[in-house]
């Protein structure tokens, strides 16, 4: 009997390990492929542990996932040390009631002339991560470019639903634009940037502030694999890469719902595109996502939706910037859009870049056929991510 129990335990452990080690990593992803596998396993583990904890009555899935991911990143930061912060003055502050972290290179602080500035908005599906997790990235940007970087600690969903994160990012950006001289920054040379959900927020802030009068204009926006629409979850990139644990289709839909209403009971409805009506699928908004659709122009107020809480918000550009009307793209600053081949959000960025170009905006679209979602944070691990970082910094240096 003891031998049988031991054998069953061995089989159970073997099956468990096989499940976690059988992480899908497309052949096209650049070396080191093992690292991509580990990243996928980390997110899969965090998601499953978070769901298990919620099931047994401990916390909620988003809060649990946040705690697990932050703990794992915290360990990585301790192992990394703080040498990347050398040469920077780093302080936590509050801009219009919003917490931020300000990175000032010593050279910029001593400069007799004002330097450029950048508002950076971190990713994490509006639910996860914080300025601590992005500390190495934002410090690197500030140090390499010699500019002042403001990293925004916006309120997270689902504790704070839309438009809380958007409002925080607008408030912090406006403060920086209006008080740039306090940081020896030239208010005419301030840009905004963000990755994933942060790219969503950066694009939404840019659209909103372009319409404000009496406010210095943002010099540029740099969007890194941004999430820009919640209308169509069956785009080619969602269909082809939705199984990759660096960012699955299931996770992305969950993030949108946590941000929208904190009601995951409609997740399958969203995943199958049944959260929209036939009228909407034939409207100009569908055309913003799929240019092959023959559309009929309709007014937002006349569109009928299924009975889903807050679902009409998916057409609000503050929530989904790709849903902005053509006229809204007039007057936008020069734009940088980075996309990765192995990313469910690839097509969001591609479509946004095309619409900006059509509107006459100056656009730089930087695509990585060996990249995957979130890979820029690994710029010191992947050669392709290192190249992407250099291209990103090169763009900012030229356009700030």
Number of residues that this document lists for the chain: 400
CA separation (Å) from 198 to 183, 217, 257, 295, 302? 23, 19, 16, 30, 31
Nearest C-alpha neighbor of 244 from the set 377, 343, 124:
343
Q: Do 86 and 108 contact (CB within 8 A), yes or no?
A: no
Catalytic residue among 140, 364, 373, 384: 373
Catalytic residue among 193, 196, 237, 283: 196
Collapsing DSSP to helix, strand or coil, 306 comes out as coil
Which residues have C-beta within 8 Å of that of residue 206, sequence separation ≥ 6? 192, 218, 221, 332, 333
State yes or no: is 196 an active-site residue: yes
CA-to-CA distance for 374 and 124, rounded, in angstroms? 10
What the block records as the tokens of 264 is: 């995951």
Catalytic residue among 186, 343, 348, 366: 343
Angle ∠(94,96,99) on CA atoms, nearest 5: 30
Task: Note the Cα 152 to chain centre separation in Å.
Answer: 13
Q: Do 282 and 268 contact (CB within 8 A), yes or no?
A: no
State yes or no: is 364 an active-site residue: no
What φ, ψ does residue 108 adopt, rounded to 5°? -70, -40
Angle ∠(169,175,177) on CA atoms, nearest 5: 100
State yes or no: is 373 an active-site residue: yes
- Residues belonging to the active site: 196, 343, 373
């Amino acid at each position: 009997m003891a031998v049988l129990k031991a054998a069953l335990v061995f089989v159970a452990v073997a099956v468990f390990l096989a499940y976690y080690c059988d992480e899908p990593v497309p052949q096209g992803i650049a070396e080191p492929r093992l690292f991509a596998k580990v990243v996928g396993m980390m997110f899969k583990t965090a998601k499953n542990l978070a769901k298990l904890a919620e099931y047994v009555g401990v916390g909620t899935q988003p809060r649990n996932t946040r705690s697990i991911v932050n703990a794992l990143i915290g360990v990585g930061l301790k192992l990394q040390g703080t040498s990347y912060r050398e040469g920077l003055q780093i302080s936590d502050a509050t801009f219009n009631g919003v917490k931020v972290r300000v990175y000032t290179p010593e050279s910029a602080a001593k400069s007799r002339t004002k330097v450029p500035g950048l508002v950076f908005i971190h990713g994490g599906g509006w639910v996860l991560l914080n300025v601590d997790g992005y500390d190495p990235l934002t410090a690197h940007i500030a140090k390499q470019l010699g500019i002042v970087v403001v990293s925004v600690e916006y309120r997270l969903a689902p504790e704070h639903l839309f438009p809380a994160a958007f409002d925080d990012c607008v408030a912090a950006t406006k403060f920086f634009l209006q008080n740039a001289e306090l940081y020896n920054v030239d208010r005419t040379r301030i840009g905004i940037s963000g990755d994933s959900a942060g790219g969503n927020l950066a694009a939404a802030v840019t659209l909103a502030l372009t319409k404000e009068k009496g406010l210095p204009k943002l010099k540029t926006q740099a969007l890194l694999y941004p999430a820009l629409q919640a209308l169509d979850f069956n785009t080619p990139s969602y269909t082809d890469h939705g199984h990759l644990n660096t960012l699955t289709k299931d996770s992305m839909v969950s993030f949108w719902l946590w941000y929208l209403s904190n009601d995951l009971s409609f997740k399958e409805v969203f995943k199958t595109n049944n959260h929209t009506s036939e009228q909407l699928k034939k409207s100009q908004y569908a055309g913003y996502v799929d240019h092959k659709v023959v559309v009929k122009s309709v007014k937002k107020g006349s569109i009928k939706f299924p009975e889903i809480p807050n679902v009409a918000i998916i057409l609000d550009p503050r929530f989904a910037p790709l849903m902005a009307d053509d006229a809204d793209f007039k007057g936008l600053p020069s734009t940088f859009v980075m996309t990765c081949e192995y990313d469910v959000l690839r097509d969001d960025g591609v479509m946004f870049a095309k619409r900006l170009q059509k509107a006459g905006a100056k656009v730089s679209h930087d695509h990585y056929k060996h990249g995957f979602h979130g890979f820029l944070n690994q710029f010191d691990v992947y050669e392709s991510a290192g190249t992407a970082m250099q291209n990103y910094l090169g763009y900012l240096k030229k356009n700030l």
